[in-house]
């Protein structure tokens, strides 16, 4: 588990800022339009994932061998990355919207 | 023991590999020789699990292996550099090296001199040597080395050969390279890949007979 966490950090590190920017943009859309704006924010996040996937696949696929040599499949690393990022995004949005409604 | 049998690989209806048998046991180095484009790298990639052939049968100690790398028992040194360039080498090594071998691995000058650097900061030879060392000290029982002597100096090749022999005491190693003298020197057994099939070579003269060398 510790090794998987380390590999996950290595795999995602170059994209932390990239995902943060997409998260802020998604957050900005929801802050302006409320829960309904999720219809726009979610595709934006998905586009961000697609961008990361395409970059890794076309420009850094040789590095996949490092992770495979650690016994981890690339599919599972991508799935884990996207799942954790989406979970953080949904959690942040939920907290923001509940704080907003409690102050209203 | 790692056994690879009945591999069938085709591209555009052209059979690249068709009658393959190769095995390797811990304590043994198997050298794989063959001309350019004969399918050596493809065979190693099939064993590792990143290339899907039309058919294959791979087992380790009698257990069928569908995907070499996810079994955790096979590690592979690809032809091109594979270490992520943005992470410190000491961090990268931790994920691949077994705990019991960590002290021995970190004692190498190759590691100590560059452990705080990132792969992108190393020369081609330094990086290739480090990558080979990491794979040889990985947790896997079977090691596939694709051109470990390419891009390194003769003195580095000598060092790598000594480490391969040392590590082969615990691991089964399949190695291929165009520097055939290094392969002959380091291997316990030679397999020639020719016309898509494997042939076990019992004397170096056969390399001439089968057209791999023009003379010894």
In Å, how far are A11, B20, B21, B60, B139 from B197, measured between CA atoms?
A: 38, 5, 8, 21, 30
Selected from 1.10.150.120, 3.30.70.1520, 3.40.50.10680, 3.40.50.300, the CATH number assigned to the domain covering B2-209 reads 3.40.50.300
Confidence of residue B117 (pLDDT cuts 50, 70, 90): very high
pLDDT of A37 reads 83
* Domains in chain B: boundaries: 2-209
For residue A104, pLDDT over 70 is answered with no
Interval B124-157: pLDDT, tens? 999 999 999 999 999 999 999 999 998 899 999 9
The secondary structure element, H or E, covering residue B124 is helix B124-136
CB contact at 8 A, B82 and A62: yes
Interval B161-188: pLDDT, tens? 999 999 999 999 999 999 999 999 999 9
Q: Do A65 and B76 touch (CB under 8 A)?
A: yes
Q: Do A73 and B80 touch (CB under 8 A)?
A: no
Beta bridge partners of B181: none
For residue B16, pLDDT over 70 is answered with yes
Q: B52, B87, B90: which to substitute to probe chain A, counting the most A Cβ within 10 Å?
A: B87
For residue A1, pLDDT over 80 is answered with no
What pTM, to 2 d.p., does this model score? 0.91
- Tokens for B127? 């990086």
ipTM of the complex: 0.93
Task: State whether the Cα torsion B8-B11-B17-B23 is positive or negative.
Answer: negative
Measure the CA–CA gap between B38 and B45, rounded to whole angstroms. Answer: 13
Average pLDDT over chain B reads: 93
The backbone torsions φ and ψ at residue A42, rounded to the nearest 5 degrees and listed phi first, read -65, -45
The backbone torsions φ and ψ at residue B150, rounded to the nearest 5 degrees and listed phi first, read -80, 140
pLDDT of B189 reads 95
Interval B56-69: pLDDT, tens? 999 999 999 988 89
Annotate A11-32 with DSSP letters as a single string: HHGGGHHHHHHHHHHHHHHHHH
pLDDT of B151 reads 87
Closest A-chain CA to B73: A71
Q: B70, B82, B119: which to substitute to probe chain A, counting the most A Cβ within 10 Å?
A: B82
For residue A103, pLDDT over 90 is answered with no
Query: In chain A, which ranges are E strands?
Result: none
pLDDT of B24 reads 94
Interval A4-62: pLDDT, tens? 899 999 999 888 899 899 888 988 888 888 778 888 888 998 999 999 999 999 999 99
For residue B10, pLDDT over 80 is answered with yes
């Amino acid at each position: 588990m510790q090794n998987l966490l380390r590999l996950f950090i290595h795999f995602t590190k170059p994209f932390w800022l990239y995902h943060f920017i997409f998260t802020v943009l998604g957050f900005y859309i929801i802050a302006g339009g409320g829960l309904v704006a999720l219809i726009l924010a979610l595709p934006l996040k998905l586009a961000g994932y697609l961008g990361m996937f395409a970059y890794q696949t076309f420009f850094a696929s040789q590095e996949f061998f490092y992770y495979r040599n650690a016994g981890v499949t690339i599919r599972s690393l991508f799935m884990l990355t996207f799942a954790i990022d989406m979970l953080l995004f949904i959690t942040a949005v939920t907290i923001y919207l509940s704080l907003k409604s409690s102050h209203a | 023991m790692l056994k690879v049998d009945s591999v069938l690989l085709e591209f555009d209806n052209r059979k690249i590999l068709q009658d393959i048998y190769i095995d390797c046991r811990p304590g043994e180095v198997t050298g794989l020789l063959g001309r350019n484009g004969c399918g050596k790298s493809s065979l190693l990639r099939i064993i590792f699990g990143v290339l899907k052939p039309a058919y294959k049968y791979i087992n380790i100690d009698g257990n069928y292996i569908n995907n070499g790398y996810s079994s955790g028992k096979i590690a592979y040194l690809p032809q091109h550099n594979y270490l992520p360039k943005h992470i410190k080498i000491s961090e990268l090594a931790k994920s691949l090296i077994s705990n019991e071998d960590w002290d021995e691995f970190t004692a190498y000058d190759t590691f100590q001199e560059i452990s705080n650097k990132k792969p992108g900061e190393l020369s081609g030879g330094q990086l290739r040597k480090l990558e080979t060392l990491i794979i040889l000290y990985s947790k896997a029982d079977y090691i596939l080395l694709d051109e470990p002597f390419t891009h390194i100096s003769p003195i580095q090749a000598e060092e790598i050969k000594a480490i391969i022999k040392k590590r082969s005491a615990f691991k089964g190693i399949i190695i291929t390279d165009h520097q055939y003298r290094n392969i002959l020197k380091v291997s316990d057994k030679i397999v020639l890949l020719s016309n898509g099939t494997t042939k076990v070579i019992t004397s170096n003269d056969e390399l001439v007979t089968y057209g791999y060398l023009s003379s010894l």
